[in-house]
Structure 1
Amino acid sequence: MVTASQNETQRVVLSARGLTRDFGGFKAVSNVDLDVHHARVHALIGPNGAGKTTVFNLLTKFLQPTSGKIEFLGTDITKTSASAVARMGLIRSFQISAVFPHLSVLDNVRVALQRPNNLAIQFWQPVSALDRLNDQAMALLREVGLENARHALASELSYGRKRVLEIATTLALDPKVLLLDEPMAGMGGEDIATVSNIIRRVGENRAVLMVEHNLSVVSDLCSRITVLQRGQILADGDYATVSNDPRVREAYMGRDDD
């Protein structure tokens, strides 16, 4: 796999300035500035209720910001619809696995490949029309280590492998920036190691922004970490910087005199 050059990893592909979202006077997100760089894995962390998922929803336009600006690949997308930014290559996953349980692993990926191959609206064509997508689908399954499970029903996969399949279907949309919402949630150690390795490979040639509670995963995978608390940025930097910040330690572990 070709990895990005140092100049490319310095390129900001997704940014937010002054990102704010009010809900009836309550500021769920307040004045957040964020830069996501090409070919880097960036973590968004914080205690429960810190505003991480709200930031994801704002960046991917599932929510409209009350104020602030969002740019993607140099284009202002602040007022762009969620479907439009997805077509531009800003793609997200969700905490709940989103695969078709009664389709095979291969067919799940073939379905995801329809839109980038301009087949999504050609509903009158026979299922055999999707055979042209087999090579692309198998390449994606090999990338995530599911090629030997291609004929299995998605419902037959373990929870961790379902999440791996979800990553494959997300990659089928050819994301320029991939947003992963708690990709390790509910996984055991073996599955965590597998998914971590996949995310590491994915992050070699595209930007990844992930919400994750497992700090050992964050320290291993992420070159940059943004810590949120009460909807505001508490700290930002590499793992050593944020983990040694006394405000971060207090947010996660409480004060010594508590």
Structure 2
Amino acid sequence: MDTVSDVPYIVEASGLTKEFKGFAAVKNVDLRIRRHTIHALIGPNGAGKTTCFNLITKFLEPTRGTIRLNGKDITRTPPADVARLGMVRSFQISATFPHLTVLENVRIALQRPIGNSFHFWKSETSLDALNDRAMALLADVDLISYAKHLAVELPYGRKRALEIATTLALEPEMLLLDEPTSGMGREDIARTADLIKRVSEGRTILMVEHNLSVVSDLSDMITVLARGEILTEGPYSEVSKNPQVVEAYMGTGGAH
């Protein structure tokens, strides 16, 4: 029996606290992320969501508290080791090579074990064996028509799609997205939201996102932070009606 999948929460954080020179950016946060859901972390500027996200992804060490992944304590585990366990932050190791083609970028990601150097010395023939898998990943993110384009030539929204493709090459069980639609126009936002929905199948996603229409469309569960603490949690239908949320966040003009 697969005991890991019997645990309903892929990530469980308890008492998560991060202090910077006496200032608590995150205070005693308990966060449970259910397997195979899209979980959004939202809040006004200064709410602590980025700090919280950085703690979960292991880019920051907590002052206090514990983080468990599939029941395993990862509180002091380095990010590369956490990635090997299946939790990968998009853009963590997926910086693209601007002067290689889109296909070449994905092929490199496919043959790079986490924590090891890129295998630039591999022959062109051995890399060709990865083409089918690479093209399948490009199909997943709707980039087939851009396969032979240089990464530098991609429109902004498509660059983000390529970064997601190179992250997916690592076959993560859990994908962490930091402001995936930031800086995008309406068309790119819609395309990226659709992409996130598609790649979430069979995976868990935690995202920090400021665009509330994206959050309402995608999220199964939302955690709202304010002043470093959890204000409330629940599906969008509940969270959006919470008077404290309306006051602290929705009323800032970001609700529509």
TM over 0.5: yes
Q: Which residue of 2 aligns with 1:3?
A: none
CA distance in 2 between partners of 1:218 and 1:117 (Å): 30
Report Cα offsets for 1:198-250 as digits up to 9, x if no partner.
Answer: 11111221000000010011001101000011111011000011111111000
CA distance in 1 between partners of 2:108 and 2:66 (Å): 33
Report Cα offsets for 1:7-30 as digits up to 9, x if no partner.
Answer: x79821111011111111000111
Q: Which one of the candidate residues 88, 93, 107 is aligned to 1:91?
A: 88
Q: Quick check: 1:44–1:210 contact (8 Å CA) kept in 2? A: yes
CA spacing shift, 1:189–1:249, aligned 2, 3 Å: same
Amino acid at match of 1:224: M
CA distance in 2 between partners of 1:248 and 1:236 (Å): 10
Give the match's secondary structure for 2:103.
Answer: helix
Q: Compute the displacement of 1:53 (Å).
A: 1.2
Q: Compute the displacement of 1:126 (Å).
A: 2.7
User: Are residues 1:243 and 2:240 paired?
Assistant: yes
Report Cα offsets for 1:128-154 as digits up to 9, x if no partner.
Answer: 432221111111000111011100001
CA distance in 1 between partners of 2:200 and 2:207 (Å): 11
Q: Which residue of 2 aligns with 1:45?
A: 42
Q: Quick check: 1:60–1:82 contact (8 Å CA) kept in 2? A: yes
Amino acid at match of 2:182: A
Q: Quick check: 2:83–2:114 contact (8 Å CA) kept in 1? A: no
CA distance in 1 between partners of 2:213 and 2:88 (Å): 25
CA spacing shift, 1:38–1:82, aligned 2, 3 Å: same
CA distance in 1 between partners of 2:24 and 2:80 (Å): 26
Q: Quick check: 1:92–1:178 contact (8 Å CA) kept in 2? A: yes
Q: Which one of the candidate residues 35, 45, 52 is aligned to 1:55?
A: 52
Q: Which residue of 1 aligns with 2:128?
A: 131
Q: Which residue of 2 aligns with 1:27?
A: 24
Q: Percent of aligned positions with the same letter in both sequences?
A: 60
CA distance in 1 between partners of 2:122 and 2:95 (Å): 25
CA distance in 2 between partners of 1:124 and 1:163 (Å): 27
CA distance in 1 between partners of 2:222 and 2:29 (Å): 14
Judge which range, 10-19 or 204-213, deviates more: 10-19
Moved over 6 A (4+): none
Q: Compute the displacement of 1:117 (Å).
A: 9.5
Q: Compute the displacement of 1:115 (Å).
A: 2.6
Q: Which residue of 1 aligns with 2:167?
A: 170
Structure 2 counterparts to residues 105-184 of structure 1, below 5 A: 105-116=102-113, 120=117, 122-184=119-181
CA distance in 2 between partners of 1:28 and 1:118 (Å): 30
After superposition, the CA RMSD in angstroms is: 2.1
User: Are residues 1:220 and 2:217 paired?
Assistant: yes
CA spacing shift, 1:185–1:9, aligned 2, 3 Å: farther
CA distance in 1 between partners of 2:7 and 2:116 (Å): 35
User: Are residues 1:186 and 2:183 paired?
Assistant: yes
User: Number of residue pairs matched?
Assistant: 246
Judge which range, 141-150 or 32-41, deviates more: 32-41
Q: Which one of the candidate residues 197, 218, 232 is aligned to 2:194?
A: 197
Q: Quick check: 1:28–1:230 contact (8 Å CA) kept in 2? A: yes
CA distance in 2 between partners of 1:77 and 1:71 (Å): 5
CA distance in 2 between partners of 1:46 and 1:94 (Å): 22
CA distance in 2 between partners of 1:45 and 1:54 (Å): 12
Q: Quick check: 1:9–1:39 contact (8 Å CA) kept in 2? A: no
Q: Which runs of 5+ in 1 are unaligned?
A: 1-7
Give the match's secondary structure for 2:132.
Answer: helix
Q: Which residue of 1 aligns with 2:15?
A: 18
Give the match's secondary structure for 1:48.
Answer: coil
CA distance in 1 between partners of 2:100 and 2:13 (Å): 38
CA spacing shift, 1:121–1:150, aligned 2, 3 Å: closer
Q: Quick check: 2:91–2:163 contact (8 Å CA) kept in 1? A: no
Amino acid at match of 1:206: R
